[in-house]
Structure 1
Amino acid sequence: MPNYRYDPASVLENSSALLYWDLTIITDGYITANRPYIVLVDRSVRRAIIVDITIPHDDNLVKAEKEKVSKYLDLAHEITAMWNVESTVIVPIVVSANGLLAKSFDQHLKKLSLGCWIKSRIQKAVVLETARIVRRFLTLEP
């Protein structure tokens, strides 16, 4: 099934992992940034991973990556305290609208235990979506 047709469940769980997809994380204290795209709890190593995805313009690649990390710091601390995990890692997935990747992209894939094979698929998906948006805009009549 193509990735653009996949509609994941909000919560997936098995004996070793818990995955939240686009779900508000309820916390003890008030946190404004509490809805990342993905939160994965690896029970075997007692670690949580917050994954958030953004597709900025080429000029804002590094800035967007830093913003994603700082945006979810409070949530990461809350998750570590509330869910009895040893650590919470924030992994920003940042691909520019033209498919450019930050230098740190490979490091982020390693944190997710994903190989470099997925880079080209991510880039392709982003570029195709950008082309679709441009095509739709150009067909608008005044």
Structure 2
Amino acid sequence: KNNNNNTNYRKYILKENISNKCRFCGIITESIQHIIDGCPVLSYSEYLHWHNNIAKIIHQQLAKDNGILGEETPHFKCQPARILEKDGMKIYWEEPIATDHTVVHNRPDILVLDRKNKRADIIDIAVPNDENISKTWAEKIRKYQDFAINLKHVYQLESVRVLPVVISANGLVLKALHQSFEHLRLPKKLINQCQKAALLATACIVRKTLGMA
């Protein structure tokens, strides 16, 4: 396939008589960056699939490490249960959690609630472009602060942490992600697995787009 099949390249370099707007949304000038990060049409389908693949990898590992799941299923075939529970620990998947006060953002991708050890971990995933990794990380922390405070009060917990998982479309990560994985006692190799999932999804989106006439 010709890797320079985006409409902008074809219009201005190949001099074809076509629009240089994105073939999906028809609004923004088409570029690889727009395709993998900014197209509003793709964001509701391709990007969600991309995001969920990473979330599934982490959810399944957490369930396995805590003795809730035995057999491992390839993440792309896996459909996580809304709530998994064992020995005072619950792992929630995209489940809204009620608290004493109304909180707008009360549905993280994954919530690990450990009543026995009086702690909780709020995990939320994002796959931004390379330039927005730090900004997205900070946004995730801010987004769930009120929820963390309310959760700590309602369940009388000693520790509640917001742990963003931010991996760029090209697989870049912050050092803070390694610290988050250490806190969750997740193996280091899992970061590589999540990066691989992000890169494969990026390649799939680009290939699909450039393959269109």
Task: Return the TM-score normalized by structure 2.
Answer: 0.64
Q: Choose 106-115 or 47-56, whichever is displaced more.
A: 106-115
Once the two structures are overlaid, the 10-residue window that deviates more, 70-79 or 39-48, is 39-48
Query: 1:134 maps to which residue?
Result: 206
Count of matched residue pairs: 141
Partner residue, 2:4: none
Match status 1:113 vs 2:185:
yes
1:11 maps to which residue?
83
How far apart are 1:94 and its partner, in Å?
0.5
CA distance in 2, matches of 1:67, 1:44: 30
Q: What do you get for the CA RMSD once the two structures are aligned?
A: 1.1
Larger Rg: 1 or 2? 2
Structure 1 CA distance, aligned partners of 2:113 and 2:98? 15
Question: What does 1:58-69 correspond to in 2, within 5 Å?
Answer: 58-69=130-141
Q: CA deviation at 1:48?
A: 0.6
Larger mean CA deviation between 89-98 and 109-118 belongs to 109-118
Alignment of 1:85-100 (within 5 A): 85-100=157-172
The structure 1 residue matched to 2:97, chosen from 25, 31, 42, is 25
Per-residue deviation at 1:21? 0.4
Alignment partner of 1:45: what SS? coil
- Distance in 1, Cα, partners of 2:100 & 2:116: 25
CA distance in 2: counterparts of 1:121 and 1:109, whole angstroms: 13
In 2, Cα distance between equivalents of 1:5 and 1:133 = 19
Q: 1:16: Cα distance to partner?
A: 3.4
Q: Give the strand-richer structure, 1 or 2.
A: 1
Q: Deviations over 1:36-61 (max 9, x none)?
A: 00000123311010000000000001
* Structure 1 Cα separation of the partners of residues 208 and 99 of structure 2: 40
Q: CA deviation at 1:84?
A: 2.1
The 5-angstrom pairing of residues 73-84 of structure 1 reads 73-84=145-156
Of 138, 163, 174 in structure 2, the residue corresponding to residue 102 of structure 1 is 174
Secondary structure of the corresponding residue to residue 131 of structure 1: helix
Q: Distance in 2 between matches of 1:102 and 1:10?
A: 29
Residues 102-138 of structure 1, C-alpha deviations (whole Å, 9 max, x = no match): 1211101011111211111010011001111112222
Which letter does structure 1 place at the counterpart of 2:156? N
- Aligned pairs for 1:31-70 (under 5 A) are 31-70=103-142
5+ residue gaps in structure 2? 1-72
Letter in 2 for 1:93: V
**Residues 67-94 of structure 1, C-alpha deviations (whole Å, 9 max, x = no match):** 1011000000011011121121110001
TM-score normalised to the size of structure 1? Answer: 0.94
